[in-house]
Structure 1
């Protein structure tokens, strides 16, 4: 894998823009009276920086790490400030900077004005950390930001959520800290078994010079996989997600499930596979079984939910099962589909959580049994929920169809049995969406719902870009699949390789190319 260096640190700039906005709000209290405008300004500026990065990126070389910047940070530990993105990293950075201003705009109605300052600071800090995570080419930098992002998320849940928010925030924190602690063991082990020198923790250096034995490599692999499985979330370490989604604000859930949880699947692709190729093939059967359990269990659990937030959370567990399946099944089409799925799910989950939040402000509840007939009084709410839900269950023409089709097609190419089990998740998905839609939106509305207002101008401004993105990705998927195909080939080459009987050999050293993409 080649690396192309940028003349300007565009990724660092993209990360610093929202952090600058957060620091200004923190050190200048008078600005907090205008926190909404300040936060929106800096988040839009971060979006502009992300678009700038897109213009500098060579889309025809999506498998190459581009816009790379490497500077010595802690030479004695082999730590470098190293950022760079391939097609997948860039897609996830763009998803992050796209959704953040929409979350801030949506929060104008869900967070009190006097508390908007802290909310905006936390969201901007979180955005900065996530951009670094999706760009990090140094394992130590990745780990530091992986742990640091728990702080803003914890306070976003614990300070701005529902009545049981503190318990949900604590559960999220304990699960995440446990995963981070396990990962720390692996990070320390990489220092011991790495090639040494000032660039010891660079992913490329580790992939080329890791000297761990088969047994040690497996334990290090497990330490990273456990942390990423919790973040993803995979069954059986998923139980924090429904509780968190039920108590967090819809905007927080969009960032948490639509963006942050993708760090789990991204970490599997960007760290686990290149560092432990032979161990990946050794562990793939177990991971695939867990992915299938997640697909079926998440869908069935969603059917049994009465709370819409919990229902959406359980559907996400099923969707993450598809992503993990695509990563580990060892097929290029499925691997590309899994990465497209990461973006598509971020869009559909944003639509579902945001429109459900807008509906909850009008009705005062998200309990399905207490709702009904809302399509007659809130047709835009009903229509947006339906479109987002249909995108989530892969209706042709919307964002979820192509990635789910690619994952299933690639899976059937490798195993008919695994494909049939995964296909059951598609059938279950139709039930967990259409049944609650029928109960919430069809029929005659309750007398107290008559006259309830539909989406206002600001809420439409939030949802229109999300719906438009779903349509673009559904009708013109090549804008993303073309960039991710080379990355999918790299993933499939690792996960589909035959497991080695002896000690895993290090991956070949990458070729580093200086200069800008042409």
Structure 2
């Protein structure tokens, strides 16, 4: 029941905001209600965490009721280490986003209630997707997240917001339709082999057959690759992030896009293990291309928002690479990367959003020398930027290292090429920082004033977590590892065992030709 209450709380908050009178000019009551609801949701997620037993790799706090009997659909929820990590990420980020969005300049100031209501709706639907253990329920929530994001981009975004919102919607709807076709296929197979069911536990036991499994996998994977996003299905993201408000970008990239990579682990690997193994060489190749391509395009951007969006294309490449390397090390790194990337990208979007609002321009070339007049802003940007390039001592370093270390044991070329992304990340972050913050104060940049107390209060939790998890990531890994081990065991994979030295006879320099214990 606690999981249902957790997901329902922000949805109820959104409905309350829709009924709240607009009232004062600054719409403070609506903002306070939104922040209060998000903090209650955070408190509930901490209750869930307290009830969760981290040593178990299975689902806990489960709840199951028949929903649509004719379809075999259930209202079924539960959390494992992967789900609870992403639920916590969501409930941590939403209060930060709401607080940071108090002073957002909207195209229509009368829409403040709707603005914050849609944010709470995103939170509730995303939590629902992370805790769903019935694929039909997951699909409904997966698609439903598009509605509030479409309105957040299309109603409250920049001058080209309509185009960006429609492109976002079309890309993701196409992916959703492909997944729906695959879900129908699962229903047909399930009905032929017994009672139709969409429960994860039942679907894992189906005998799909090789060709059927591969076709169904492609339907799910296409939807998740668009959501993630994976090259070459990523092109909606820079446009959407370039037009959305900073808070909307955080919800889209740091929360909702994680449903894509979460779905790869939870649904693709659990339901279609053979097909995932079959497709892994191509997916690993696309992931490496995403890492390099996203970083190269980030280097060439003059628009700060598009730069941050392309860095996320690169980072999602790392996450997907770790998932399809199929080692417990790389997959644990990918899950931790989802959490850490959410924090670092949130800090980047929010602090650059303040810069853009102050300057009235998103062009890097319109800034320069800002650290002279806004040293705190400069420091926050530096920490967020260094975390994005995975500097040791900051949270993303640990996750990126685990991804590369795990990948190296199964594919040295993929790990080597992916490592180039770290070098390129140093370029796009440091070049951006140098051009905006150092040197003489650029004409017109004097309007970029220091962070206000409210903005500092919003950014401080993210910065503290980035630094804290950089030195002490073990609490998160303790929750993640058992769930990852369960997935790795189900797909029949494991970490390659280290090779033992070859024994040598005393009287010869030749190897026996066998590893120790191989006789």
Please name the residue that 1:206 is paired with.
Answer: 203
Residues 65, 84 of structure 1: 8 Å contact kept: yes
The CA distance in 2 between the partners of 1:30 and 1:177, in whole Å, is 33
1:114-513 alignment, distance < 5 Å: 114-194=110-190, 200-208=197-205, 210-450=206-446, 452-493=448-489, 497=493
Whether the aligned pair in 1 keeps the contact of 2:398 and 2:473 (CA below 8 Å) is yes
TM-score of the aligned structures, taking structure 1 as reference length: 0.92
Deviations 1:168-220 (A, max 9, x none): 00000000110011111011111111267777000111001x23221111110
Displacement of 1:472 after TM fit? 1.6
Indicate which of 73, 79, 83 corresponds to 1:79. Answer: 73
Moved more, 360-369 or 260-269: 360-369
Q: Hey, what does 2:9 align to over in structure 1?
A: 17
Deviation string, structure 1 residues 491-510 (Cα, Å, up to 9, x no partner): 43456649xxxxxxxxxxxx
How much does 1:404 deviate?
0.4
Aligned residue number for residue 95 of structure 1: 89
**Structure 1 residue ranges, 4+ long, deviating more than 6 angstroms after superposition:** 196-199
Which deviations, in whole Å up to 9, do the C-alpha atoms of 1:114-149 show, x marking residues without a partner?
221010111111111000000000000000011111
Say if 2:36 is the partner of 1:36.
no
Q: TM-score, normalised by structure 2?
A: 0.91
Question: Match of 1:108?
Answer: 102
Aligned equivalent of 1:515: none
In 2, Cα distance between the equivalents of 1:29 and 1:374?
40
Tell me the C-alpha RMSD between the 2 structures.
1.6
Partner Cα separation in structure 2 for residue 495 and residue 388 of structure 1: 36
- Checking the alignment, whether the CA contact within 8 Å between 1:281 and 1:496 is kept in structure 2 is no
Conserved 8 A contact 1:72-1:198: no
Q: 1:511 aligns to what?
A: none
Aligned partners of 1:413, 1:428: CA distance in 2, in Å? Answer: 23
Partner-residue secondary structure (3-state), 1:459:
helix
SS of the aligned residue for 1:83 comes to: strand
The runs of 5 or more residues in structure 2 that have no matched partner are 495-519
- Contact 1:330 1:493 survives alignment (8 Å): no
- How many positions carry a matched residue from both structures? 488
* Cα separation, 1, equivalents of 2:351 and 2:435: 16
**Is the 8 Å Cα contact of residues 335 and 489 (structure 1) preserved in structure 2?**
no
**How far apart, CA to CA, are the structure 2 residues paired with 1:302 and 1:452?**
23
